[in-house]
Structure 1
Amino acid sequence: MITQFLAASQPVPAGPVVQWGWLTITVANLVVILLMVVVFVLALLLPFPAPREDEVQ
């Protein structure tokens, strides 16, 4: 019973890691961060849709 608990509490391997100077980050986290930056930039650059003529007061 205790050996099962100890085996289940072992950390899961993080996967591939990118190291750049002092920065160490997993590839999965880097992809998520880059996608969030892309969505943020698109939200800033893309115009809001114009209201339709029948909605203008």
Structure 2
Amino acid sequence: MAGTTAFAAPLDLNGTGHYLHWGVVQISVANLVVIGLMVVLFLAALLLPFPKGKRRR
């Protein structure tokens, strides 16, 4: 049982989740953070330049 603390969550996950409400739309804060990170990663993939390989003569 001594090795189980290595896999413990940094936050207490036994509590209730936090939700945001917009009329009939309800989303958890955790899901909203994941969606935001995916949008940021997608925009970074669009805006960052592709690496250029060596050109042939």
TM-score with structure 2 setting the length: 0.64
CA deviation string 1:4-47 (max 9, x = no partner): xxxxxxxx765000111221000000000000000001101111
2:37 paired with 1:56: no
Q: Which one has a bigger Cα radius of gyration?
A: 1
SS at match of 1:33: helix
Seen in structure 2, the aligned counterparts of structure 1 residues 40 and 14 have a Cα distance that, compared at 3 Å, is farther
Q: Give the Cα separation in 2 of the matches to 1:20 and 1:45.
A: 31
Residue 44 (structure 2) aligns with: 42
Q: Select the structure that is richer in helix.
A: 1
Unaligned runs of 5+ in 1: 1-11
TM-score with structure 1 setting the length: 0.64
SS at match of 1:24: strand
- The alignment's C-alpha RMSD in Å is 1.6
Q: After TM superposition, where is structure 1 displaced by more than 2 Å over at least 4 residues in a row? A: none
Unaligned runs of 5+ in 2: 1-13
